[in-house]
A and B are shown apart, each in its own frame.
Chain A
Amino acid sequence: EIVLTQSPATLSLSPGERATLSCRASQSVDTQLAWYQQKPGQAPRLVIYDAFNRATGVPARFGGSGSGTDFTLTISSLEPEDFAVYYCQHRRSWPPNFGGGTRVEIQ
């Protein structure tokens, strides 16, 4: 099975700063990678699918890139509502595993 490793585990930033989150796959997933945002006490929400496509209603400050084994989620300028945990997930094969998550916290 494909293992996804996210880094860093925690990112401490201030509003207005740029956030760069990494997801590395143990083998190629082509561009079959999604990113989800989860706020405390809430269900996850799809942010990016197929590596770089923003889900409906997701602001343009969210951007995804990468292919193969290395992927990046970038938030160009953090808004207060962006502080959350972000998970990557692949759909290349079964099981469609999730990464361990990156917490973006207010510095």
Chain B
Amino acid sequence: EVQLLESGGGLVQPGGSLRLSCAASGFTFSSYSMTWVRQAPGKGLEWVSTITDNSVSALYADSVKGRFTISRDNSKTTLYLQMNSLRVEDTAVYYCAKYYDDRGSIFDPWGQGTLVTVSS
């Protein structure tokens, strides 16, 4: 069974940093692209970032470009999201998700999410 377990969320002041982790199991992690999607309280889903299986390519939403960095450690089957210069509007539940296959951005399954709160 595929399992994705996010951690690292919490309360941080504006301008601060946080690193999220997503521990993966139940599949060959190194063979799949992975993604982060966030959801602000009471709002819809927003794609944040994607990284390919071999880390050659990483893409970002304009809203986080230059502030967030996605990475992965295939030996540890873990996905990361380094978040710097955090803003109040970055407050959200952050989900990691596995790419369904190699045809493109189909996300399945998703982790349970970790809450990031940016507030002074």
Chain A residues near B (Cβ < 8 Å): 32, 34, 36, 38, 42-46, 49-50, 55, 87, 89, 91, 94-101
Looking at B12-20, B41-49, B69-77, the stretch in contact with chain A turns out to be B41-49
Chain B residues near A (Cβ < 8 Å): 37, 44-47, 50, 59, 61-62, 95, 100, 103-113
Q: Is the CB of A43 within 8 A of B113?
A: yes
Distance (whole angstroms) from the CB of B27 to the closest CB of chain A: 13
Kindly list 14 other residue pairs between chains A and B, CB separation below 8 angstroms, not including A43-B111, A43-B113, A87-B45: A46-B106, A50-B103, A89-B105, A89-B107, A91-B103, A94-B59, A95-B61, A95-B62, A96-B104, A97-B47, A98-B44, A98-B47, A99-B44, A101-B44
Q: Is the CB of A46 within 8 A of B107?
A: yes
Q: Is the CB of A49 within 8 A of B95?
A: no
A101–B109 Cα distance when bound, in Å, is: 19
